[in-house]
Amino acid sequence: MTGMRILLVGAGGVGGAFAAIAARRDFFEAIVVADYDPAKAEQAAATDDRYVAARVDASSAESVTALCRTHGITHVMNAVDPVFDMPIFEGAFAAGADYLDMAMSLSRPHPETPYERTGVKLGDEQFALASQWEAAGRLALVGIGVEPGLSDVFARYAADHLFSEIDELGTRDGANLVVTDDDGNEIFAPSFSMWTTIEECLNPPVIWERDRGWFTTPPFSEPEVFDFPEGIGPVECVNVEHEEVLLMPRWVDCRRATFKYGLGEEFITILKVLHTLGLDRTEKVRVKGVEVSPRDVVAAVLPDPATVGPRMTGKTCAGLWVTGTGKDAHGEPTGPRSTYLYHVVDNAWSMAEYGHQCVVWQTAVNPVIALELLATGAWQGTGVLGPEAFDAVPFLDLLTAYGAPWGQREQ
């Protein structure tokens, strides 16, 4: 069997961090770092002599397929905004390669009752093709970033090792990150793709309940203050549309699945204003003879998340709050249990150790680990699968071995 040959589509913040993390591992033979901007691809590819740079049009399945065939690619790693998921997903399949992404195909709200019922759900387009992937003996591992991704691994771990019955799988993310300008003044600079942030925060949030299935609520609903570990402290969290809620109930038995994000008051206000002004829209408008998407303009005028690391301080936390009935080492029920499984990355550490800011580093480390587990055979499967479909223990062991241990807190 030949070694793993990876096509990394996207050399932005997360793609660049992926290249830096993978450079320290030896489970693969080659990585083709591809981006629409050849300069970005060249920069990321310069980190290791097993890397080559290439140009790709992520909106074209044919472009992805052609690159795969040219370089004998075995695994396609999607590290661009999820608007490009389906061309990359289909391009990988046509080339006979396996596929991984960190965010699933986009949703479309229900046309009549968007804040009650789901329309097209996150990942629906991908799951619709699951039987084709299974029949071909190929794997599409979807949602293997940090959120979704690590939280889904935590869900599998909680079900296998900590709980006899799960009431709620509640993903809770928060941070105390601050970005400053050259004069030391705090500025508004999202640490992740603004395009994706607008998409997930202004879409109707999805909740899953065993008795109701998937349903939606208005954006920013059900605010709660969650106390994050390792000095981050209390942050107001609200419901946000996210893949975990669409993934976890497919593989893990629970009564309820939720996702709440610690956006903070300022960020929520900005998002509401963008929505009120129509600046969250993706449909192009004509401005002085040029066609532009308002959301693309918002993303373009903000600092690139890949570049804010040196001016950022604080920590980011991703985790899963699980409630239900615990179990002992023999699998016997032990009574009520409430456990937060989490992963914290300090920006000072990720910048010093890897030269990448903590949010993109924390996102990128998980698909590198997943690819290593696929390369060794510790993880294997066919079809369209989420991280919950695999044993969590080897993943969490490797996360610690990569120098970024996870934590567990009873609460």
Digit-coded pLDDT (tens) for 310-369: 989 999 999 999 999 999 989 999 999 999 999 999 999 999 999 999 999 999 999 999
- Mean pLDDT value across residues 234-254: 95
CA angle 175, 178, 183 (to 5 degrees): 175
Same fold for the domain at 4-144+360-406 and the one at 150-358? no
Of residues 398, 309, 361, 346, the one with CA closest to residue 21:
361
Q: How far apart are CA 372 and CA 133, in angstroms?
A: 21
- In tens, the pLDDT along 139-192 reads 999 999 999 999 999 999 999 999 999 999 999 999 999 989 888 888 888 877
Predicted confidence band at 309 (pLDDT cuts at 50, 70, 90)? Answer: confident
The architecture in CATH of the region 4-144+360-406 reads 3-Layer(aba) Sandwich (3.40)
- Mean pLDDT value across residues 219-235: 94
CA distances from 265 to 30, 171, 235, 238 (A): 44, 19, 9, 10
pLDDT of residue 199: 83
Which residue matches tokens 């690139």?
304
Of residues 12, 7, 5, the one with CA closest to residue 364:
12
Has residue 1 got a pLDDT over 50? no
pLDDT of residue 184: 87
Pick the CATH number of 150-358 from 3.30.360.10, 3.30.413.10, 3.40.1160.10, 3.40.50.1820: 3.30.360.10
The side-by-side arrangement of strands in the sheet containing 186-187 is: 186-187, 178-180, 312-313
- In tens, the pLDDT along 94-112 reads 999 999 999 999 999 999 9
pLDDT of residue 2: 59
Predicted confidence band at 80 (pLDDT cuts at 50, 70, 90)? Answer: very high
Residue pair 36/16 in contact by the 8 Å Cβ criterion: no
Q: How far apart are CA 118 and CA 75, in angstroms?
A: 32
Close Cβ partners of 286 (under 8 Å, ≥ 6 residues apart): none
> What letter does residue 222 receive in the DSSP assignment?
S
pLDDT of residue 164: 97
CA distances from 340 to 20, 56, 215, 226 (A): 29, 40, 25, 11
Of residues 41, 40, 23, 24, the one with CA closest to residue 32:
41
Residue pair 236/225 in contact by the 8 Å Cβ criterion: yes
Question: What residues does each domain of the chain span?
Answer: 4-144+360-406, 150-358
Phi, psi of 68 (to 5 degrees): -60, -45
